[in-house]
């Protein structure tokens, strides 16, 4: 028996979700979400559902196989309230923007409202969409192949060293002023991120590479601002203070980086290790 939601079949909802994910940039612009950064497979942003300014609070997956369109709020678990699908993501934003939702118990947008918005957003106000199963299966297979190719050629964050250096001002003036040499800072690609939509914006970024020194496995970013005496956060003097757990932190790291699995500078040290079998 075909699973249905409000008389819409599972195939229809799947086709609708895939079309919405393809329009993810236009969708974010529609909701006036500007503070985000695309990591190829997923998008990082502050959670637009519960609010807050933690720039790595929410991950929205825009590529992959089974998880395309899924999202996760890492701080408030908003996906547990609105479901971990692109339609749940939209419903959460509609609930926030239309009804001021901020916590469990507040009024939420209905699933019917969400569907109505989704179809009109796609220019299909009559709530009809192509649910050809062969088309859906072909798209899923293509997405699966793309995911395999990405994982094969671009591990971890899927960002090459060359791509990262394009958004960094190397060497970082912040550390030059603190006595670090230009040679060392350039050697390790330590620079200031000025990319507005990057979650490391206005931070000095220290990249961690894979064993071949080709792809990024982790990022650490130090705020270029000193501690605010009013809120103890590390933000621009021109920015208003934020109190509580959403205040700007001194150091920020990319989500889900497993530091225990990597040794910093191994990409340079491995040749010495192979010859000497020890480290100082």
Q: Are 41 and 158 in contact (CB under 8 A)?
A: yes
Query: In angstroms, what CA-CA distances link 107 with 30, 32, 50, 80, 97?
Result: 22, 21, 13, 15, 11
Residues contacting 41, CB < 8 A, separation 6+: 61, 62, 63, 64, 150, 158
pLDDT of residue 145: 44
Q: CA–CA separation, 149 vs 17, rounded Å?
A: 23
pLDDT of residue 242: 80
Q: CA–CA separation, 245 vs 253, rounded Å?
A: 16
Element (H, E) at 115: helix 111-121
The pTM of this model reads 0.52
Q: Are 62 and 21 in contact (CB under 8 A)?
A: yes
pLDDT of residue 173: 94
Q: pLDDT of the chain along its 280 residues, tens only?
A: 333 345 567 777 888 888 899 899 999 999 999 888 877 678 889 999 998 778 888 999 987 655 788 999 988 999 999 999 999 999 999 999 999 998 888 999 999 999 999 988 988 755 555 554 455 555 555 554 444 444 444 444 567 888 888 889 999 999 999 999 999 999 999 999 987 777 788 999 999 998 888 888 888 999 999 999 989 889 888 888 887 666 788 988 876 676 667 788 888 888 777 776 565 5
Question: Regarding the domain delimited by 161-276, which CATH topology (the fold level of the hierarchy) does it fall under?
Answer: DNA primase DNAg catalytic core, N-terminal domain (3.90.980)
With tokens 């800072």, the residue in question is 185
* Measured CA angle at 249 (ends 175, 61), to 5 deg: 105
Residues contacting 171, CB < 8 A, separation 6+: 180, 182, 185, 186, 190, 191
Residues contacting 116, CB < 8 A, separation 6+: 127
> Which token pair is 90?
């939209």
Residues contacting 32, CB < 8 A, separation 6+: none
């Amino acid at each position: 028996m075909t699973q249905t939601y409000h008389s819409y079949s599972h195939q229809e909802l799947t086709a609708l979700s895939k079309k919405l994910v393809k329009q993810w940039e236009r969708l974010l612009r529609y909701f006036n979400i500007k503070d985000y950064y695309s990591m190829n497979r997923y998008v990082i942003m502050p959670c637009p559902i519960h609010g807050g300014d933690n720039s790595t609070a929410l991950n929205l997956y825009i590529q992959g196989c089974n998880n395309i369109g899924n999202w996760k709020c890492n701080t408030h678990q908003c996906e547990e309230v609105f479901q971990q699908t692109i339609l749940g993501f939209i419903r959460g934003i509609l609930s926030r923007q239309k009804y001021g939702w901020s916590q469990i118990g507040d009024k939420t947008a209905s699933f019917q409202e969400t569907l109505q918005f989704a179809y009109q957003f796609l220019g299909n106000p009559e709530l009809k969409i192509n649910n050809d199963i062969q088309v859906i299966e072909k798209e899923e297979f293509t997405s699966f192949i793309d995911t395999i190719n990405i994982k094969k050629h671009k591990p971890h964050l899927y960002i090459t060293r060359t791509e990262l250096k394009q958004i960094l001002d190397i060497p970082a003036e912040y550390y030059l002023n603190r006595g670090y040499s230009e040679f060392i800072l350039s050697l390790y690609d330590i620079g200031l991120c000025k990319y507005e939509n990057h979650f490391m914006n206005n931070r000095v970024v220290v990249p961690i590479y894979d064993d071949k020194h080709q792809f990024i496995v982790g990022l650490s970013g130090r705020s270029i601002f000193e501690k605010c005496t009013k809120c103890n956060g590390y933000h621009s003097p021109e920015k208003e203070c934020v109190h509580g757990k959403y205040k700007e932190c001194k150091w920020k790291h990319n989500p889900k980086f497993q530091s225990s699995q990597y040794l910093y500078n191994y990409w340079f040290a491995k040749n010495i290790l192979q010859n000497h079998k020890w480290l100082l």
